């Protein structure tokens, strides 16, 4: 019987304690307003590697994790047709080179000199014929024939000069055209050698040797190995609060016991319509020793901070404007900053007013 009474008393005490409402007193402390953001780590200058040309992946020159430099060959695309076209362009350029056709110009030049000598000789003969004619020696027909001969030789001489200049222009044009075609073919052939755009690390490779690839097919991911960005997604309702240079506190599953400080470096000005979020970039003030692309993170973007203000736990706030006083009645309060756990009380209660949690 005694044991029974004891059990009843304990049960009664537990019942009374459980019905008592939880309460707190407001207190003065620091409060920070922030925006929540989720995101991931991205290597600086990270990009997907594409080829400009289509063909068969002939050789992969790098492995995952390799360090690469600007201009280093990553992949070679096989294409015999382009190689043959380049070789043909080289032969054409060689054959069309100006110096390779100097003999043709020399031949016309000699022809010009010959025609000039013939013209000079005929003009001299005409001069003599006119001198004789003035002395009534010779005939009018002989003089006219000599004049016609000079005119014909002059035309031949001028024509040979024109042919020389015309050939010179043609050879110059052919040389430039063949060199341009060669440059085009060399450029096209260069497209079959896929090179790195940056100094960095090969983070991933998607294709194997022998596979057919196109310019729509990513071959690899390359990015910086020493600098990283934080890619943050924030809700559209918070975007107007975000500003460049704002402090960001970051936590990652890879570093569970640590928080890292960063700063907003870029706000991308278009919303993702599917997720209704904006993307913000941030940089570490002091980065962790080891980072990898695509590590997930959570962050708080610090909007405003106040020291030594009156606060209550956020769970004690009712309808954003009331608290429950000692008489269990609603009392209106004016609130200020809010974070995930606390809310600033600007008017309505003091640090001596006990407030209660609603059921």
Percent of the chain with pLDDT over 90: 45
SS3 240: helix
pLDDT at 17: 43
Render 307-340 in DSSP notation, one character per residue.
Answer: EEEEEEEGGG-BTTTEEE-TTS-EEE-EEEEE-S
Dump pLDDT digits (tens) for 69-114.
999 999 988 765 555 454 555 555 565 555 656 677 788 888 888 8
Number of neighbouring beta carbons within 10 Å of residue 343 = 22
Helix (H) or strand (E) holding 76: strand 73-78
Cα atoms found within 13 Å of the Cα of residue 263, Cβ hemisphere only: 6
SS3 284: strand
Mean pLDDT of 109-121: 87
Among 218, 214, 191, 197, smallest CA distance to 206 is for 218
pLDDT at 103: 74
**Maximum CA pair distance of the chain?**
177
Among 228, 277, 273, 276, smallest CA distance to 250 is for 228
DSSP 238: G
Q: Give the least confident one: 57-66, 77-86, 227-236.
A: 77-86
pLDDT at 18: 40
Q: Using only the alpha carbons of the chain, give its radius of gyration.
A: 45
Q: How confident is the model at residue 2 (pLDDT cuts 50, 70, 90)?
A: very low
SS3 233: strand
Q: Which two tokens stand for residue 63?
A: 């492995």
Residue 272 backbone class (left: φ over 0; alpha: ψ -120 to 50; beta: rest): beta
Mean pLDDT of 327-344: 87
Residue 260 has pLDDT above 70, yes or no: yes
Dist CA 165 CA 158 (whole Å): 11
Contact (Cβ atoms closer than 8 angstroms) between residue 323 and residue 312:
yes
Dist CA 56 CA 76 (whole Å): 9
Among 274, 282, 276, smallest CA distance to 298 is for 282
Residue 7 has pLDDT above 60, yes or no: no
Phi, psi at 255, each rounded to 5°: -130, 70
Burial class (CB in 10 A: 0-12, 13-18, 19+), 168: middle
Residue 166 has pLDDT above 50, yes or no: yes
Per the listing, tokens 């010779």 go with: 138
Residue 333 has pLDDT above 50, yes or no: yes
């Amino acid at each position: 019987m005694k044991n029974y009474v004891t059990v009843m008393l304990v049960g009664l005490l537990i019942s009374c304690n459980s019905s008592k409402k939880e309460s707190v007193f407001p207190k003065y402390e620091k409060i920070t307003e922030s925006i929540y953001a989720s995101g991931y780590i991205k290597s600086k200058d990270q990009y997907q590697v594409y080829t400009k040309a289509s063909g068969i992946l002939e050789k992969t020159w790098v492995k995952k994790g390799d360090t690469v430099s600007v201009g280093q060959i990553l992949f070679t695309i096989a294409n015999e047709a382009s190689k043959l076209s380049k070789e043909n362009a080289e032969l054409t350029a060689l054959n069309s080179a100006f110096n390779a056709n100097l003999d043709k110009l020399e031949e016309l030049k000699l022809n010009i000199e010959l025609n000039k000598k013939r013209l000079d000789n005929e003009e001299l003969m005409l001069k003599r014929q006119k001198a004789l004619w003035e002395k009534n020696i010779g005939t009018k027909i002989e003089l006219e024939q000599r004049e016609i001969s000079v005119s014909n030789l002059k035309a031949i001489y001028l024509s040979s000069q024109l042919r020389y200049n015309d050939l010179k222009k043609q050879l110059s044009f052919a040389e430039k055209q063949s060199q341009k075609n060669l440059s085009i073919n060399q450029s096209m052939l260069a497209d079959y050698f896929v090179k790195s755009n940056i100094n960095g690390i090969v983070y991933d490779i998607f294709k194997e040797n022998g596979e057919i690839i196109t310019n729509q097919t990513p071959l690899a991911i390359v990015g910086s190995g020493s600098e990283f960005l934080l890619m943050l997604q924030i809700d559209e309702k918070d975007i107007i609060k975000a500003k460049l240079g704002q402090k960001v506190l970051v936590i990652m599953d890879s570093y569970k016991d640590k928080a890292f400080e960063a700063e907003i470096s870029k706000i991308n000005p278009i919303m993702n319509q599917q997720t209704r979020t904006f993307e913000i970039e941030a940089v570490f003030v002091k980065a962790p020793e080891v980072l990898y692309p695509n590590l997930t993170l959570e962050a708080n973007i610090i909007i405003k901070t106040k020291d030594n203000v009156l606060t209550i736990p956020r769970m004690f706030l009712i309808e954003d404007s009331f608290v429950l006083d000692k008489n269990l009645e609603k009392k209106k309060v004016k609130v200020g900053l809010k974070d995930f756990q606390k809310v600033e009380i600007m008017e309505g209660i003091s640090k001596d007013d006990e407030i209660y949690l609603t059921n």
